């Protein structure tokens, strides 16, 4: 780990200025219980830079109109802003066309969309879907909902004590009944970065499509969907410094073309009569009803913001914080880190011998420290490690080593009071 830090420092010569970035996020100046906010709950949601806030205010102040089909000035303006955001998303993940970018409410809706249309068009009794033991509930429950209607089997890739998937077991799960592999790119409770390249390669050797839940990857790892060759990719705007209520489903054009619509309504049609309706072209076929226009445009600004700084620089900084935090927390004998994968993103889950995560969370809150405690919507992971819950610190581009020190100091105080 130490050598990695040195390497990171060397690469970090191009002027990543964390203080300058912090100044862009007004909420970071808040005082909580008399202490400066130390926001370490970024895996739950990230804070928003002023630029994103301004975009939303500007939209409602001077651009608001419903999009598509409008002939008046504001409608055309709003449509352009909205479609520009789609292009920004397309460029950000290097999709080949705007047709492959579907706006949803978030990762959850994106996965539900795929589950629903797969259920309608592809899945039959006896078919199997592969997921992993570290999925967020949003990549478990949508598949279980199908099980209420059809005899679909969910096959689960097991994980080892470090929180890594057991690849050999994954290979054994693949068979001719496998219709989709839906897997989390980065685990929100363990921080594990899954070997998605290898998973996709293996799946495609059997002609099985792969959906990546990129909710915790999109803000940390440069994603090129053409190089990755994933078939679907889902993420949420609010975890990449954008607004809540807006997310993305990327899908390969051919695949999306072949699938039926999800919801029905306005915008997703090209012609409606009472006898027959023809559906609109991609991506509108999958976007029924008035979209979340303001937040979509806000997401576009968030992507601009991240792109300006550069994901590569961001991840170098975040890895440095992660390594520093890991080393610092390992110095505390009463604390145990859950999730020690070789490749990790900036998430650290930890538990104490005698202190419950909820007490830790409440106590640290009074030090101004925001961490998350609980099962992090990954109850099967908690069961796998035989624990009811963890405390989780997760870092973003604006976090500093000083904040890690605040966390460590807070934890030491906590141990003093509770042990």
Partner 1 sequence: MDAELKELYQQVILDHNKNPRNFKKIENANHFAEGYNPLCGDRLNIYVELEGGRIKDISFQGSGCAISKASASLMSSIVKGLPVEEAERLFEKFQAVITGKITDEENIEELGKLAVFAGVKEFPSRVKCASLAWHTMIAAFKQEEKSVSTE
Ligand X SMILES: Cc1ncc(COP(=O)(O)O)c(C=O)c1O
356 binds partner 1 (CB under 8 A): yes
216 binds ligand X (CB under 6 A): yes
Name residues whose C-beta falls within 8 Å of residue 28's C-beta, 6 or more positions apart in sequence: 22, 37, 39, 47, 398
Write out the DSSP string of 174-211.
Answer: --TTEEEEEEESB-TTT-BB--HHHHHHHHHHTT--EE
Residue 236 interacts, among partner 1, ligand X, none and using kind-specific CB cut-offs from 5 to 8 Å, with: ligand X
| 260 in Cβ contact with 114 (< 8 Å) | no
State which of positions 369-408 bind ligand X (CB under 6 A).
Answer: 377
CA atoms within 13 A on the CB side of 265: 8
State which of positions 20-79 bind partner 1 (CB under 8 A).
Answer: 33-34
Size of the site for partner 1 (CB under 8 A): 20
Residue found by looking up tokens 């999109």 in the block? 218
Structure letter (DSSP) for residue 348: E
Least gap, CB of 184 to partner 1 (angstroms): 20
Task: Kindly tell me which of 116 and 187 has the beta carbon lying closer to partner 1.
Answer: 187
Q: Select from 64, 328, 379, 400 the one that contacts partner 1 (CB under 8 A).
A: 379
The H or E element spanning position 7 is helix 2-11
Residue 389 interacts, among partner 1, ligand X, none and using kind-specific CB cut-offs from 5 to 8 Å, with: partner 1
Query: Binding string to ligand X for residues 128 to 147, with x set by CB under 6 A, is what?
Result: --------x-x---------
Q: Which listed range, 147-155, 210-218, 267-275, 364-372, lies at the site for ligand X (CB under 6 A)?
A: 210-218
| 260 in Cβ contact with 312 (< 8 Å) | no
Q: Select from 175, 258, 270, 362 the one that contacts partner 1 (CB under 8 A).
A: 362
What is the Cα–Cα distance from 264 to 169, expressed in whole angstroms? 40
Which residue among the candidates 5, 154, 332, 377 is catalytic per the annotation?
A: 377
Task: Kindly tell me which of 71 and 417 has the beta carbon lying closer to partner 1.
Answer: 417
Tokens of 397: 């581009």
| 136 in Cβ contact with 378 (< 8 Å) | yes
106 binds ligand X (CB under 6 A): yes
382 binds partner 1 (CB under 8 A): yes
Q: Select from 194, 345, 346, 373 the one that contacts partner 1 (CB under 8 A).
A: 373
Is-cis flag, bond preceding 283, omega within 30? yes
Least gap, CB of 62 to partner 1 (angstroms): 39
Q: At what angle do helices 401-418 and 311-330 cross, to 10 degrees?
A: 30
326 binds ligand X (CB under 6 A): no
301 binds ligand X (CB under 6 A): no
Q: Select from 45, 54, 169, 366 the one that contacts partner 1 (CB under 8 A).
A: 366
Residue 138 interacts, among ligand X, partner 1, none and using kind-specific CB cut-offs from 5 to 8 Å, with: ligand X
Residue 108 interacts, among ligand X, partner 1, none and using kind-specific CB cut-offs from 5 to 8 Å, with: ligand X
Pairing of strands 128-132, 153-157: parallel
Residue found by looking up tokens 């010569």 in the block? 13
Least gap, CB of 411 to partner 1 (angstroms): 15
What is the Cα–Cα distance from 241 to 298, expressed in whole angstroms? 9
Burial of 58 per CB tally in 10 Å (0-12, 13-18, 19+)? middle
Task: Kindly tell me which of 55 and 189 has the beta carbon lying closer to partner 1.
Answer: 189
Least gap, CB of 45 to ligand X (angstroms): 8
Q: Is 38 a catalytic residue?
A: no
Least gap, CB of 393 to ligand X (angstroms): 15
Name residues whose C-beta falls within 8 Å of residue 20's C-beta, 6 or more positions apart in sequence: none
Q: Select from 55, 116, 119, 188 the one that contacts ligand X (CB under 6 A).
A: 188
Q: Select from 229, 304, 359, 405 the one that contacts partner 1 (CB under 8 A).
A: 359
Beta strands in 101-246 (DSSP E): 101-104, 128-132, 153-157, 178-184, 210-213, 232-236
The catalytic site residues sit at: 377
The residues of the shown chain that bind ligand X, judged by CB under 6 A, are 106-108, 136, 138, 184, 188, 213, 215-216, 236, 377
């Amino acid at each position: 780990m130490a050598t990695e830090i040195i390497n990171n420092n060397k690469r970090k010569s191009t002027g990543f200025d964390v203080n300058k970035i912090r100044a862009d996020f007004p909420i970071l100046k808040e005082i909580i219980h008399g202490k400066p906010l130390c926001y370490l709950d970024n895996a739950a949601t990230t804070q928003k830079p002023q630029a994103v806030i301004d975009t939303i205010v500007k939209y409602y102040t001077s651009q608001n109109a419903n999009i598509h089909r409008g002939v008046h000035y504001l409608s055309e303006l709003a449509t352009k802003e909205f479609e520009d955001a789609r292009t920004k998303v397309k460029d950000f993940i290097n999709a080949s066309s705007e047709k492959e970018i579907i706006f949803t409410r978030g990762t959850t809706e994106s996965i539900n969309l795929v589950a629903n249309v797969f259920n309608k068009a592809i899945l039959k009794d006896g078919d199997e879907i592969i997921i992993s033991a570290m999925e967020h509930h949003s990549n478990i429950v949508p598949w279980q909902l199908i099980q209420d209607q059809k005899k679909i089997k969910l096959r689960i890739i097991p994980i080892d004590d470090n929180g890594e998937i057991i690849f050999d077991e994954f290979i054994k799960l693949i068979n001719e009944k496998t219709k989709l592999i839906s897997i989390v790119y980065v685990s929100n409770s363990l921080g594990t970065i899954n070997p998605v390249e290898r998973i996709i390669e293996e799946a495609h050797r059997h002609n099985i499509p792969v959906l990546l839940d990129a909710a915790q990857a999109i803000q940390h790892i440069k994603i090129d969907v053409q190089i990755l060759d994933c078939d679907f990719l889902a993420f949420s705007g609010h975890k990449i410094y954008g607004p809540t209520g807006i997310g993305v489903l990327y899908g390969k054009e051919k695949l999306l073309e072949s699938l039926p619509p999800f919801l029905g309504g306005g915008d997703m049609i090209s012609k409606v009569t009472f006898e027959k309706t023809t559906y609109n072209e991609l991506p509108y076929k999958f976007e029924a009803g008035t979209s979340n226009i303001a937040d979509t445009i806000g997401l576009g600004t968030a992507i601009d913001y991240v792109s300006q700084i550069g994901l590569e620089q961001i991840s170098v900084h975040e890895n440095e914080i992660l390594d520093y935090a890991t080393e610092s927390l390992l110095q505390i004998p009463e604390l145990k880190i859950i999730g020690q994968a070789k490749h990790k993103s900036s998430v650290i889950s930890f538990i104490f011998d005698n202190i419950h995560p909820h007490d830790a969370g409440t106590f640290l809150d009074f030090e101004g420290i925001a961490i998350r405690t609980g099962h992090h919507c990954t109850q099967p992971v908690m069961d796998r490690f035989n624990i009811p819950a963890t405390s989780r610190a997760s870092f973003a581009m604006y976090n500093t080593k000083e904040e890690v020190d605040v966390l460590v100091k807070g934890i030491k105080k906590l141990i003093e009071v509770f042990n």
